[in-house]
Structures are given as structure tokens and as C-alpha cells.
Amino acid sequence: MKSRIAVVAIGGNSLIKDNDHQTIQDQYAAAQETCLHIAYLVQLGWNVAITHGNGPQVGFCLRRSELAAEEVPESPLHICGAETQGQIGYMLQQILHGEFQQRGFPQHVVTVVTQVVVDKNDPAFTDPTKPIGSYMDEKTAKRRVAEGWQVREVEKGCWRRVVPSPKPVRIVEEPVITRLLKDGFVVITAGGGGIPVVEDKDGCLEGVAAVIDKDRVSALLGNALGARLLLISTKVDKVYINYGKPDQKAIDVMNVSTARRYLKEGHFGAGSMKPKIESAITFLEKGGKQAIITSPEKLTDALISKAGTKIVPDSH
């Protein structure tokens, strides 16, 4: 196994760039660009584990299930998570295989359908906040509540299902991922943050209706693997303070203490940059050497400090 391990967390925009480009063909085209940079990372001598978002794809899966409910049984959320891990993994495997063939690399790519243990007593289960699935009218919302869903009125007359977003505790397949990396595979894993499962006293697992943050799982995975680098792709090329304001400022490099100060000052949105910064801090405080946040098209430049924001330990 190569001595350097990198976890590459692919954001949703690496697969679906906007609402006008959501077809499978569009997703292949978007993923192609990101995979070029991942292939370059492998070429530089890194052992690579890839995580990815799956929010839109899970939404599509749920919507298809709802529309076909009179013909076939509906799919629960955790099953949609498993389905989309396979779907997206297949796409990335195929694209990366082609890239490696063209470059004459011996590497093979494999997808691991990944379960992530969460605490059934996590406070998130009493305060679900993550909207998923289709918009509903009041009648449908009441019916779904009677079926056990939790819904929230997101705008007047429109409801959506909400589910908890608990913290990841343990990646069930981590020993398998470690072995595959040791044997030289590029591993696609923990798609969409992993399939959330709870564990009973006998060690048996059961899927739950929840969504785990992909970047938090990426940090957890990186630390479990002893990775040196956490590379997070997102919509922006750098991290900014005062983002969207006339005095916004891009950050090239910051240490953990500075990142914590900016978090405390409220510079990073809860639904966007905040979990990425928090995940980078966790990764670095538990042994990681550096985290980089940038856009998909800037991944290669970020590796050589020509783009992106680098976050380093205070001792760096």
C-alpha cells in the first residue's frame, strides 16, 4: 500500500451541476471532470478513498417510489441510500477505470456499500431538520404523519418530510476498506454519508430513516484509515469570510485555531460551509496532516497550492 492515504469527498455538484443538468448523461459528464483530478492524485502516488454526496439521487429514488406506490412497494430511505451508493459507485468506477486504462495504471476501483453506525439516542432523532423527498399538500402531509413520517411546512401550503441528521459513530465496513486500500484498490465508500444504522446489544444492525453528513463521515473515515489528506470538493473555489458581502475575503491557508475563530464569528453557514470546516478541524485534531476545500475543477491546482483553501494543524 502506498504510504500516503487521501480521502476525497466529492460534493453533489461533482455529479449534478444545476437543475438543467440532472440526467444520467449529465451526471457522467460532470463526474468525468472530477475523476480526471482523482486520477492525477493517484498518479502522484496517493492511495485514495472516495466519498460522495447522493442527495439529489436519493430524492429521485424516493420520488419514483412514490409515483409507483400503487404498483410496487415503496422503498424506505435507507434502501434508497444503498441503491444510490451502488448507482453512483458504478458511474465513478467506470469513469476511473477508463482514466487508468488510458494512463497505463494498474489500479482497480471498487465500491463498498457502506453502513455507518449512529447512536439511537442522538439528540437529532428528537429534532429532525433534514428535508428530503417531494413537496406535499396538507392532505398528503396528514396522511404521511399518520403513517409515521415527520413533516414540516417549508412554505405556505407546502410540506416536506424531515429526518434527523445524527453524528456518525463508526463505519461498519472500515476493516474491509482498509484491506482494499492495502491491496492497492481505489475505494469508493460511505456514499451520501453512509447508510445510517443502529446497533442492538447483540451487535445486529438495522437501517434507520436518517441522513448523515457526508463530510463528517469523510473525516471519521480519514482518521480511521490514518489518512494524511482530506480533500473536500464543493461549489466554491475557496473558503471565504464575509461571503457574499462587499468585503468578502478568500482564505488561502488557515490553521485550526483560526478556523475555530471564524466558526465562532459565524462566517460559515450551517447548511453549507460550516460542516466542512468542522469536519476538517476534527480530521486534523485526530491526526490528519492537512485538509483542502475547493471546487471540482480546481482539485489539481489545489494539490500544488495554486487554488483552494488549505487548513493545517496549529503545529504546522
pLDDT band at 16 (very low <50, low <70, confident <90, very high): confident
Domain count, the chain: 1
Annotation says 182 is catalytic: no
Annotation says 130 is catalytic: yes
Element (H, E) at 110: strand 109-112
Does residue 119 lie within any of the structural domains? no
User: Which amino acid makes up residue 286?
Assistant: K
Q: Per the residue annotation, which of 2, 17, 59, 130 is the catalytic one?
A: 130
pLDDT at position 5: 97
Annotation says 121 is catalytic: no
Mean pLDDT of 158-173: 95
| Partners of 6 in beta bridges | 48, 229
Residue-wise pLDDT for 240-252, tens only, equals: 999 988 999 999 9
Cα 62 vs. chain centroid, distance in angstroms? Answer: 19
Annotation says 148 is catalytic: no
For residue 190, is pLDDT > 50?
Answer: yes
Q: How many CB atoms lie within 10 A of CB 25?
A: 9
Does residue 133 lie within any of the structural domains? yes
Rounded to whole angstroms, how far apart are CA atoms 168 and 216? 7
Does residue 134 lie within any of the structural domains? yes
Does residue 157 lie within any of the structural domains? yes
Q: Per the residue annotation, which of 276, 288, 298, 310 is the catalytic one?
A: 276
Annotation says 274 is catalytic: no
Three-class DSSP category at 123: helix
For residue 12, is pLDDT > 60?
Answer: yes
Does residue 105 lie within any of the structural domains? no
Residue-wise pLDDT for 282-293, tens only, equals: 999 999 999 999
Q: What percent of the chain has pLDDT over 90?
A: 79
Does residue 150 lie within any of the structural domains? yes
Residue-wise pLDDT for 109-141, tens only, equals: 999 999 999 999 999 999 998 888 889 999 999
Burial of 244 (0-12, 13-18, 19+ CB in 10 A): exposed
Does residue 144 lie within any of the structural domains? yes
pLDDT band at 13 (very low <50, low <70, confident <90, very high): low
Mean pLDDT of 38-42: 94
Does residue 256 lie within any of the structural domains? no
Dihedrals phi, psi of 195, to nearest 5 degrees: -80, 115
Domain that holds residue 153: 128-163
Q: Are 139 and 224 in contact (CB under 8 A)?
A: no
pLDDT at position 1: 44
Q: Per the residue annotation, which of 11, 214, 222, 298 is the catalytic one?
A: 214
